[in-house]
Structure 1
Amino acid sequence: MKEYLYVLKLRSDLLVEDAWTEKEENIVGNHFSRLKMDTDNGKVILAGRTLNSDDTQFGIVIFLDESWDSAMEYMNKDPAVQEGVMTATLYPYRVALMKK
């Protein structure tokens, strides 16, 4: 298995908290549930986001997959990406150091 990282960017109109509807809340809830499940089953190594609320905020998902194509498919099936709440960019990645 190879390591990959995808960077998530929230749709710019959703940077304002008042712009969120129940639909976006549900989509991001599904996004989180999927990442939690895949963390529990060993596919996702780490997932998180920056805490700033301007256009520089981003999230990352570091995960394991068989190939670039399979990793791309996994990223594109993220509910937040599929539903257009977030955009995502995939990178090959290698963890060099990690706290035990």
Structure 2
Amino acid sequence: MLKVHHLSESRSQRILWLLEELGLDYEVVRYERDPKTGFAPPELKAIHPLGKSPLVEDGGRVLAELPNLTAYLDRLHARPAYQWALERGGPYEMGR
């Protein structure tokens, strides 16, 4: 099962949306930003030194950065009906 490390006020919401659309099972670990600095907490930095979010763990791999994650999920889990959403340019460009 995929594990999503979700930092408040980050782009990880997009990965959660994509996982829902793909119908994949996943677990969410939530983190809050430091209220004074806005930085990620030490618990998230223990997984990624820069405190990046979203992070996804899959089978011992830790993946970071939104474009990398969408490409990874596209290759491994996408259904043909959603393929256009993961391709550059969207459905109109793919139809050309």
Fold match by TM threshold 0.5? no
TM-score, normalised with respect to structure 1? 0.29
TM-score, normalised with respect to structure 2? 0.30
- Which one has the largest radius of gyration? 2
